[in-house]
Chains A and B, each alone.
Chain A
Amino acid sequence: MREYKVVVLGSGGVGKSALTVQFVTGTFIEKYDPTIEDFYRKEIEVDASPSVLEILDTAGTEQFASMRDLYIKNGQGFILVYSLVNQQSFQDIRPMRDQIIRVKRYEKVPVILVGNKVDLESEREVSSNEGRALAEEWGCPFMETSAKSKTMVDELFAEIVRQMNYAAQPDKDDPCCSACNIQ
């Protein structure tokens, strides 16, 4: 059974923990406690293959931004969460992705862009198109989720697993088959 290390990133109060907990336990946490760092483990079946997700729920508050490098180093797949009722959180996403690329030194890191709190449609500040455009720019999937109403939460984590699978294959193919074999 393959293990997937997923890191959930995003600025403060966007619902990283809510998403994660919703996925892991199926409940929505009402409390508003900032996370320092939480770790979850869950087995799921994605595309008929069982997989173990190790989810690192990170601190969004900037005080802990210095820890991000650590998270990123340890992570394989990244869920970048912003709150679609907070434009600033959307703005904060880009540097995080840049940081991932920088730390990983690799362009095609499995990433998913997630707009959370889609249940608060009336307070929306970031349109779907903005999110989608950014995701297209990065060539990554884009989702709008709601931890509260459990919208697209399971799909999200299934998708990140697929992304990691997808990233892993060409990863092996490219350097090994084309480069190594031919040479």
Chain B
Amino acid sequence: MGDVDNGSSLGLPVSRRSQSFENLSVESGGSLHERDDIQGHLRAEEVDNMLLRNDSGIESALSYAKAWSKYTKDVVAWVEKKLSLEVECAKNLAKMAETAKAVVGPQDYMPFQSIFLNAFQNDIENNQLWQQTAAALQSNKFVQPLLGRKNELDRQRKDIKELWQREQKKMQELEAALRKAKSLYTQRQDEYEKAKSCTARAEEEHLSSSGSFVKDFSKQLEKKRRLEEEALQKAEEANEHYKASIAEIEEKRNDMESFKSDVVMQLRELIFQCDLTLKAATVNLFQLQHAQVVSLPVNCQSLCESAKLYDPGQQYSEFVKSLPKEGVPIESGSFETHSSQVDGVFNKQSTNSVHTSHGNLSQCSGDFPSQMLDDVGSPIYHRSQRIGEKRSSSSTDIQAMRGPPPFRSWSVGNQSGGMCSDSESAGGSSESRSMDSPSASPGDFKRRLPRTPSTGTMSSADDLDEREPPSPSDCGLNDLTSETANSPGPFRNTSMSKAAQTHKLRKLRAPSKCRECDSLVVFHGAECEECSLACHKKCLETLAIQCGHKKLHGRLHLFGVEFAQAAKNVPDGIPFIIKKCTSEIESRALNVKGIYRVNGAKSRVEKLCQAFENGKDLVELSELYAHDISNVLKLYLRQLPEPLILFRLYNEFIGLAKESQSVNEELDAKQVSPKSKKRQSICIELNRIIIKIKDLLKQLPVPNYNTLQYLIGHLHRVTEQSDENKMSASNLGIIFGPTLIRPRQTDATVSLSSLVDYPYQARIVELLITYYEKIFDVSLQPLLSTSQSEEAAITVRVALSGEREPQQQRKSFVAVKEGILIAPSENRASETAVLFLESHNSKNTKEQVDTSATERASLPFGGKQEGSGKSSALTESTAASVLDIISAPKETGDAVSPASEKDNDSFVSPGEDGCKINLLPAKPNRQINKVPLRVPRTKLAIRPVSLPVDRILPPCVLNERNTKNAGAVSPENLGKSPTIEEVSEVKALSAVSTCCRLSCCDTQMLRKTWDKQYKQYDITARTAMIVTNVPQENRTLESGTAGALSSSCSMGNNSANASLHVKPYPLSVRSGRTAAEGSGPDAKPVATFRVSRTLQPPPGTFYKPPSNKSKQNEESSTTKACASTSASLELHQDNTVKLARSSVPLSGDPGQNTDEQKTSSEDAHPTDLKPTYQRLRPKRIQELEHREAHFV
């Protein structure tokens, strides 16, 4: 056994040696490794043989495997314990570093701060590294594979052991059987021997005895022989068995032998495999440990190096420099004077700072400061700068440098990375700014001063290049040189974003927060000299904040902050972010498909948001995706705690949206049918809604209003490109609906209510966008004061009536209507006029608009006129009247005058006309009414002919409505209406002009009456149908009255002269009154209308009766009325005298015309008109008040 043990023990060491060799070979090299391999192989066979030779070989192999397993387990346990200790240690270190960092970080201007921060950072990074290493070792590098291998080994070892034991047992059994067979054989052999001897003895006895016993003997003998034979046989059998057993056991032994070698082989392979794994794991372990430690000395050394670089007192002077700049001018002055002479620490510091600031300049920077110190104004200094720039390797810089003028080069130098031309100017400005501004730090000041002189002295680039090398030597400060040497031309090789190029970058001096990624920058940071923006070197690629050339403000909170807070920083109340985004989008992304709809990339959007908070309006957007920008804008609006359209207005707006929705539905429903009445009414309704919206918006704070206007204006421009970008007003409405207007969130009801309201939110925004010009009075606001506007309006009326030119009728009509509607809502007649003008202009006639624009007051009116002219003369007049009405009600406010009623009527008629026109397929003639403000009277007569067609229809409709809807309508009106209708279809348009008169004279009155009616209708039934019909009826009645007035107007439309108009007006008025009376309740307003029309001419009158409680409603109603009246007027023209009565309702347009005419004539009779209105007022005023209450 001893031998055996020795053998086995020998075997083990051998294998161990081979292992170790292998390990060594891995590290030492190939040759060794090969040799080891050979040895290993040889040994492997030897090992097997030795084991085979050994009886207990397998046992010892197995026991070795078991030992390996235990050994591995122990090693793994050690590694695991070690790892956990290391991780814990690293964690604690990191924690300490973090806390230290947090404490030390904010303490600016402390010596070695950056170094310690870096050390902390190192610790933290180390912690990560250690943790990673530990994790790696735990998982796939060491522990897991080894444990896996060990388990595998154990399993196989047990299997083999079991097999082996079974084999051995079998062997033993066989041996036992053999022994048994052998003993049996010997026993049998003995028995045979005994039997044989016995037989022999018996034979002897037989021979000796003879005689009588012979037979017996022979028998016995025979028996014994038989026994002997049996014994022999048995012995032979036993012998056979024994031999067989021997053979069997022999065979078994052979089997055992081969089995044994198999097992040995298996075990060997198993162990080899385990060793392989162990080897790999061990290598991993030490490699990882090496890796995790290897950075330490480097870091420490670099820290050590950078610590050596520190100049005692450096930070202190930095700190002094950074002190508030109150005293700066003085200090800087002194500093400057000293700067050239100053030596020592201070110089060094300044130079340092300069040097760093010129990060881009690379090595030259070092020279540069020194030069600065020596001679500020010297060309050399300048050159060095140049050189630095060149080195910075940006092509633009080089170009700039080559540029002949010295100034350029200097500017370039200033800007460091900038683009040639732009950078120049920017740089220059920045300099001057810094110089002038007291806010500039003394340090900055110093730095810049030297440069300015240098600009003047530029020599060739070659000189500069030559200068370069010496320049470093020039600077006598070791620190500087060393620094320059250490800093590898900080950022010249970094790719920089457009915004980054605007900065004058230097190496970051003190750790701070990166403005781009918002994390801490310690090393490899860049800092802008001018705005002191800090950021990582790698962040320069994506930096979005441009240089503002003055100290960058601290981070501000932008998103999710109250709007008022953001607005108060800006004079007009529009946050910069909105301006910035919209202007960028308008500059290049208006045609991007799905702009505002498609989402931006979340990561980039967040980054941009951050940039906005960090860099405010300096953010450079030109390189960003349009969708990201639009997304940021939406995000900003959405995150406002209270939306632009305030919570308190939410319900009202949603209510309006619902109304408009129903109107729309009606429109859709009626588009199928050719009848235009309802459509007209719908349009009127729509106008009313718009006016209401306008009024509601007036309740917004100024910043909100301005911002909303700005934004909606932008969106409006987006929709103008909707062919390309596919973003129509309704699309944008859906997207901006919930961002601009949302309910106050009460947790429970949020989801459902918001779900229900989404369409209405969207609808409101859509309306805002679609009717942007009307709702926001975009362009004309500045032109007129209210009083002026009123006057202007009057004049405009005249002008409108006077000049009418055919243009796009539909558009003009619509515009007019809208304008009218808006106008009443607004208090400023001028604004409305402006709106009208704008709409008209934009749509149809720019020329006219221009002309109108030239004339102040006249302009708005002219615009209206134009619009009306397009649609028809009537529309123009109506517009004018509307304006008047509007102004009047606003001013008067409460008092409803008959004039307003009349105006309303007239308005209504044009509005209706407009509606009709829109609806009607035939809009062939675009009549543009040029409205010279004060000329109009003469012009009034001119229009009628071109207009009629469109207008004819509306009057008919009106008449019909009146007859149908208003039972009160007088038989006269009814009778007239059919005739009117017939005629009107053809000629209605011409009549439009008459409306003007009405509006002019009685706008206030008309409004009031109209408002009353309108309100009632609204109240009674909100459905557009009902509302529209009723108002129309009323209007038609009114228009009828107006028509009476406008009979003259109709005349005018028909090419009637002003004089003619004047005559018919009174007639028409009377007829209208009569008709109104006949009709009943409706008739009253009508009468008033008529009166008003006659009265129309003097603008002052309108203004006088400012009492409009139901301004909005009235206005809208008035517009509608105007439309109807105009229509009626047209009819009237055709029908002549009868028309005068009935036509009044029919020819809204003519009414307008007549108004215009009247206005012309009015000049003479304004005073008269007023009184009539006043009379009418009282009754209607009450009504109006009621209505107003309802409406509001």
Chain A: CB-nearest residue to B735: A61
Q: Is the CB of B762 within 8 A of A13?
A: no
Q: Is the CB of A61 within 8 A of B597?
A: yes
Known: A32-B726, A37-B755, A70-B751. A88 touches B600 (CB 8 A): yes
A91 to B600, CA, bound (A): 10
Q: Is the CB of A13 within 8 A of B594?
A: yes
A64 to B735, CA, bound (A): 9
Q: Is the CB of B751 within 8 A of A88?
A: no
Q: How far is the CB of B752 from chain A (nearest CB, A)?
A: 9
Determine the chain B residues whose CB is within 8 A of the CB of A88 once the complex forms: 598-601, 627
Known: A63-B739, A67-B751. A34 touches B734 (CB 8 A): yes
Q: How far is the CB of A66 from chain B (nearest CB, A)?
A: 8
For window 591-608 of chain B, which residues contact chain A by CB distance below 8 Å?
Answer: 593-594, 597-602
A110 to B184, CA, bound (A): 80
For window 23-75 of chain A, which residues contact chain B by CB distance below 8 Å?
Answer: 32-37, 59-64, 66-67, 69-70
Q: Do most interface residues of chain B lie in helix, strand or loop, or is the interface mixed? A: helix
For window 57-105 of chain A, which residues contact chain B by CB distance below 8 Å?
Answer: 59-64, 66-67, 69-70, 86, 88-89, 91-92
Determine the chain B residues whose CB is within 8 A of the CB of A64 once the complex forms: 738, 758
A91 to B597, CA, bound (A): 16
**B: contact size bracket:** 20 to 34
Is A12 on the interface with B (CB-CB < 8 A)?
yes
Q: How far is the CB of A148 from chain B (nearest CB, A)?
A: 15
Residue in contact with B598 in the complex, picked from A33, A37, A59, A86, CB distance below 8 Å: A86
Q: How far is the CB of A87 from chain B (nearest CB, A)?
A: 8
Q: Is the CB of B594 within 8 A of A32?
A: yes
For window 717-739 of chain B, which residues contact chain A by CB distance below 8 Å?
Answer: 726-728, 730-731, 734-739
Is A22 on the interface with B (CB-CB < 8 A)?
no
Residue in contact with B597 in the complex, picked from A34, A66, A70, CB distance below 8 Å: A34
Determine the chain B residues whose CB is within 8 A of the CB of A67 once the complex forms: 751, 754-755
Is B943 on the interface with A (CB-CB < 8 A)?
no
Q: Is the CB of B638 within 8 A of A63?
A: yes
A32 to B730, CA, bound (A): 10
A63 to B758, CA, bound (A): 10
Residue in contact with B759 in the complex, picked from A11, A36, A63, A89, CB distance below 8 Å: A36
A62 to B787, CA, bound (A): 47
Q: Is the CB of B762 within 8 A of A36?
A: yes
Q: Is the CB of A12 within 8 A of B762?
A: no
Chain B: CB-nearest residue to A35: B734
A59 to B495, CA, bound (A): 40
- Chain B 742-768, CB-CB to A under 8 Å as 1, else 0, gives 000000001100110011001000000
A13 to B597, CA, bound (A): 7
Q: Is the CB of B755 within 8 A of A70?
A: yes
Chain B: CB-nearest residue to A69: B751
Residue in contact with A61 in the complex, picked from B728, B734, B750, B755, CB distance below 8 Å: B734
Q: How far is the CB of B630 from chain A (nearest CB, A)?
A: 11
Determine the chain A residues whose CB is within 8 A of the CB of B597 once the complex forms: 12-13, 32, 34, 61
Chain A: CB-nearest residue to B637: A63
Residue in contact with A91 in the complex, picked from B601, B728, B730, CB distance below 8 Å: B601
Q: How far is the CB of A63 from chain B (nearest CB, A)?
A: 5
Is B383 on the interface with A (CB-CB < 8 A)?
no
Is B634 on the interface with A (CB-CB < 8 A)?
yes
Number of interface residues of A (CB under 8 A): 24
Q: Is the CB of A33 within 8 A of B731?
A: yes
- Chain B 702-729, CB-CB to A under 8 Å as 1, else 0, gives 0000000000000000000000001110
A60 to B599, CA, bound (A): 9
Q: How far is the CB of A90 from chain B (nearest CB, A)?
A: 11
Q: How far is the CB of A159 from chain B (nearest CB, A)?
A: 27
A35 to B735, CA, bound (A): 9
Q: Is the CB of B730 within 8 A of A33?
A: yes
Determine the chain A residues whose CB is within 8 A of the CB of B737 once the complex forms: 63
Q: Is the CB of A34 within 8 A of B601?
A: no
Q: Is the CB of A11 within 8 A of B755?
A: no
With a 10 A CB-CB cut-off, give which of A11, A34, A64, A69 has the most chain B CB atoms: A34
For window 86-136 of chain A, which residues contact chain B by CB distance below 8 Å?
Answer: 86, 88-89, 91-92
Determine the chain A residues whose CB is within 8 A of the CB of B730 once the complex forms: 33
Known: A64-B738, A70-B751. A36 touches B602 (CB 8 A): no
- Chain B 582-618, CB-CB to A under 8 Å as 1, else 0, gives 0000000000011001111110000000000000000
Q: Is the CB of B758 within 8 A of A36?
A: yes
Q: Is the CB of B755 within 8 A of A34?
A: no
For window 1007-1033 of chain B, which residues contact chain A by CB distance below 8 Å?
Answer: none
Chain A: CB-nearest residue to B734: A34
Determine the chain B residues whose CB is within 8 A of the CB of A13 once the complex forms: 594, 597-598
Q: Is the CB of B599 within 8 A of A12?
A: yes
With a 10 A CB-CB cut-off, give which of A11, A66, A91, A92 has the most chain B CB atoms: A66
Q: Is the CB of A61 within 8 A of B751?
A: no
Determine the chain B residues whose CB is within 8 A of the CB of A37 once the complex forms: 755, 758
Q: How far is the CB of B609 from chain A (nearest CB, A)?
A: 14
Q: How far is the CB of A57 from chain B (nearest CB, A)?
A: 13
For window 372-423 of chain B, which residues contact chain A by CB distance below 8 Å?
Answer: none
Known: A36-B758, A63-B739. A12 touches B598 (CB 8 A): yes
Known: A63-B738, A64-B738. A32 touches B731 (CB 8 A): yes
Determine the chain A residues whose CB is within 8 A of the CB of B754 once the complex forms: 66-67
A124 to B1116, CA, bound (A): 52
Determine the chain A residues whose CB is within 8 A of the CB of B755 once the complex forms: 37, 67, 70
Chain A: CB-nearest residue to B751: A70
Q: Is the CB of A34 within 8 A of B599?
A: no
Q: How far is the CB of B343 from chain A (nearest CB, A)?
A: 59
Q: How far is the CB of A58 from chain B (nearest CB, A)?
A: 11
Determine the chain A residues whose CB is within 8 A of the CB of B759 once the complex forms: 36
A34 to B598, CA, bound (A): 10
With a 10 A CB-CB cut-off, give which of B634, B730, B735 has the most chain A CB atoms: B735
Q: Is the CB of B735 within 8 A of A11?
A: no
Chain A: CB-nearest residue to B727: A32
A32 to B634, CA, bound (A): 19
A13 to B594, CA, bound (A): 7
Q: How far is the CB of B600 from chain A (nearest CB, A)?
A: 7
Q: Is the CB of A62 within 8 A of B599?
A: yes
A62 to B634, CA, bound (A): 9
Determine the chain B residues whose CB is within 8 A of the CB of A86 once the complex forms: 598
Q: How far is the CB of A13 from chain B (nearest CB, A)?
A: 5
Determine the chain B residues whose CB is within 8 A of the CB of A32 once the complex forms: 593-594, 597, 726-728, 731
Q: How far is the CB of A119 from chain B (nearest CB, A)?
A: 16
Determine the chain B residues whose CB is within 8 A of the CB of A12 once the complex forms: 594, 597-599
Known: A33-B728, A88-B627. A63 touches B735 (CB 8 A): yes
Determine the chain A residues whose CB is within 8 A of the CB of B762 once the complex forms: 36
Q: How far is the CB of A157 from chain B (nearest CB, A)?
A: 25
A37 to B638, CA, bound (A): 20
Determine the chain A residues whose CB is within 8 A of the CB of B594 once the complex forms: 12-13, 32
Determine the chain A residues whose CB is within 8 A of the CB of B751 once the complex forms: 66-67, 69-70
- Chain A 1-31, CB-CB to B under 8 Å as 1, else 0, gives 0000000000111000000000000000000
For window 549-586 of chain B, which residues contact chain A by CB distance below 8 Å?
Answer: none
Q: How far is the CB of B605 from chain A (nearest CB, A)?
A: 10
Chain B: CB-nearest residue to A83: B598
Q: How far is the CB of B877 from chain A (nearest CB, A)?
A: 39
Q: 17 interchain pairs (CB within 8 A)?
A: A13-B594, A32-B597, A32-B726, A33-B730, A33-B734, A36-B758, A36-B762, A60-B599, A61-B599, A61-B734, A63-B638, A67-B754, A67-B755, A86-B598, A88-B598, A88-B599, A89-B599
- Given A32-B594, A67-B751, A69-B751, list of 5 further CB < 8 A pairs? A11-B599, A37-B755, A63-B736, A66-B750, A66-B754
10 smallest A-B Cβ distances: which pairs? A32-B726, A34-B734, A13-B594, A63-B738, A36-B758, A13-B598, A12-B597, A88-B601, A11-B599, A13-B597
Binding site for A on B (CB under 8 A): 593-594, 597-602, 627, 631, 634, 638, 726-728, 730-731, 734-739, 750-751, 754-755, 758-759, 762
Binding site for B on A (CB under 8 A): 11-13, 32-37, 59-64, 66-67, 69-70, 86, 88-89, 91-92
